[in-house]
Amino acid sequence: MAYPDLQSYIAALDQRGFLRRIKTTVDPVLEISAIADRISKQPTVDGQTPPATDPVHGGRGGAALLFENVQGHKWPVAINLFGSYERVRMALGCNNLEELAARVQKLIKPEVPTTLIEKMKKIPELAKLASYPPKIVRRGMCQQVVRKEDADLRELPMIQCWPHDGLAGYAGKPKEITAGTGRYITFAGIYTKPRGGGEINVGMYRVQLHDTRTMAVHWHMHHDGARHYRQHAAANERMPLAIVFGGESVLPYAATCPLPPNVSELLFAGFLNDGGIELVPCQTIPMEVPANAEIVIEGWVDPQEKIWEGPFGDHTGFYSVADLYPKFTVTAITHRQNPVYPTTVVGYPPQEDYYLGKATERIFLPLLQMIVPDIIDYHLPRFGAFHNCAFVKIRKEYPYQARRVMHSIWGAGQMAFTKFIIVVDEHVNVHDEQEVLFSLGANVDPSRDLENVTGPLDILDHASVSYGGGGKLGIDATRKIPGEGPYRDFPDRLLMSSDILNRLDQRWKEYGLD
């Protein structure tokens, strides 16, 4: 089972020895992030066996951290809570991600009952589906303390992750660091609604502190939050927005999921939680937020006002550029008694977001296969920072099938931003990067097997020829067959006979080699 709130999850981590409490005073400006960055590169404390889908990096992640004395603040700061596969599994309430992927597959492609008995057996499953939508309640612990006129953002222990964060206009030359210039909210759900009402969208976007009641909200043009903002801006109406910390342990993951359009993150969170998320109405805006949250910031985004945001040290390992983004004005801050403030640091991987992203890779394989049935498996290697590279395995059946798969992926949701796609045959383990590169060297002729296209890219890609767009490359690393351009017979791969391999298995101890 998943956990009902953040502090229950933290207590479970502590009980299992996955949490480290830091009692000495630490600075939220750079010191906390530097500690978390170093810890994230260390071996995990979970005692887990690296999963087959990540044999190289699965044993990293360090410990979850709870800083109990943060300089200038009264609330403790939690970080790296999701920084390993085992902790992600705990938060999602599952034994393994493949089990959860199977649940997703049944949700998106349910089996149709054919007999009366089968229909009767489906009734409990249908009843469970009905329990996934969020439930509105009158009160929640997220509003045990309500502050309106005296709300002050500076009381939240926001961290500054990297030295040049928030120094708008930074052009690659060192500048004197002003303490707290680049303090950010990095691990909270951003709650918005489309103009005219509709399902709440939950995204995880960074938000930069400016003063006691003002922040800059950063979102990509492709995000639902940005789409809602454009709707309100077109009508010259301000937009209600809530920033939510904590809540059920499934919520941070649900906020990061690349869900299909019009699929609610809260509905998916209810599915992961095996029960609907309880929501409570906000105090000052027309929005509902999780009743079990630690902290909620309420306010309005004015379409007529933009302020500087950035630069920001991002998951690519580089600073993203500063630009003008919507101004968010706070109307209230509510919180539970004695809350814990969750945060994260992003940067050169692996970081905490790496494990959340790899969970998405596994859980959403059935959804990708529904869009592109040719795909047997895929892998988003760490060096690609998720958007830069994908290894894809197919069972090749006809000429140019690999190219069809590439273009299908470039049309599939957020996979559209993938800059490099390498397609391999079904016998290749896409999670073994050396195997993929071997196929690249063995099967590719650059004059024949490269597919160059132009299209949208992640706006964080600083190498692209334009902002949010540029070239993409597909590489067909499959064994070639007749009909795929200039063709020569491919030689057979070196494979030992099964009789000999069986003999080795039976006689291995006799050889005395172990």
Q: What are phi and psi of 435, to 5 degrees?
A: -65, -40
- Catalytic residue list contains 314: yes
Both structure tokens of 111: 């089996």
Residues facing residue 290 across a β-bridge: 279
- CA-based nearest residue to 157, from 190, 188, 192: 188
CA dist 474 and 459 (Å) reads 20
Block residue for tokens 């759900």: 189
Query: Do residues 106 and 260 lie in contact, with contact meaning Cβ atoms separated by under 8 Å?
Result: no
- CA-based nearest residue to 193, from 253, 240, 134, 236: 240
Q: Is 496 exposed, middle or buried (0-12, 13-18, 19+ CB in 10 A)?
A: exposed
Tell me if residue 27 falls in helix, strand or coil.
coil
CA dist 273 and 251 (Å) reads 9
Where helices occur in 351-400 by DSSP H, the ranges are: 352-363, 365-371
Q: Which of 37, 224, 314, 458 is catalytic?
A: 314
- CA-based nearest residue to 377, from 414, 439, 423, 417: 423
Neighbours of 329 (CB within 10 A): 14
CA dist 122 and 116 (Å) reads 10
CA dist 91 and 177 (Å) reads 36
- Supply the residues annotated as catalytic: 314
